[in-house]
Amino acid sequence: MKSFAAVLLLALAPALAVAAERITPIDDAKRGSMVTVQGKVERITDEDEFRLADASGSIRVYVGPNWVPASEGEAVTVHGFVDDDLGPRELYARTLTRADGSVVTFDRRYEW
């Protein structure tokens, strides 16, 4: 029984880690910071980019060079880096957690 519990804990560790992090309202996501935000996929704008919205606002989320692993209207949690460029804020996703608890980790080939 102990080994089953250990295996279960290892399997759930990524989802538990994201759940344990503080969720930042999208409008409070500061440039140059690592954040975890939650919301609904408002619109898929490109194969590797979408807009995520919560009650406070919305932000563009970049998952490239990967495909967006969610559908419009889907509730997700995203952990990543908010760029510090002068243009519109963009979140460079490191992980995306779906409502069912599955975690997608993104290959980080981009620079910030």
Q: Which domains does the chain have, with CATH numbers?
A: 2-105 (2.40.50.200)
Q: Residue 87's pLDDT is what?
A: 87
Residue 70 identity: A
Low-confidence ranges of the chain (pLDDT < 50): 4-10, 15-16, 18-19, 112
Q: Residue 69's pLDDT is what?
A: 95
Q: Residue 18's pLDDT is what?
A: 45
Q: Residue 65's pLDDT is what?
A: 87
| CA dist., res. 23 & res. 13, Å (int) | 17
Residue 86 identity: L
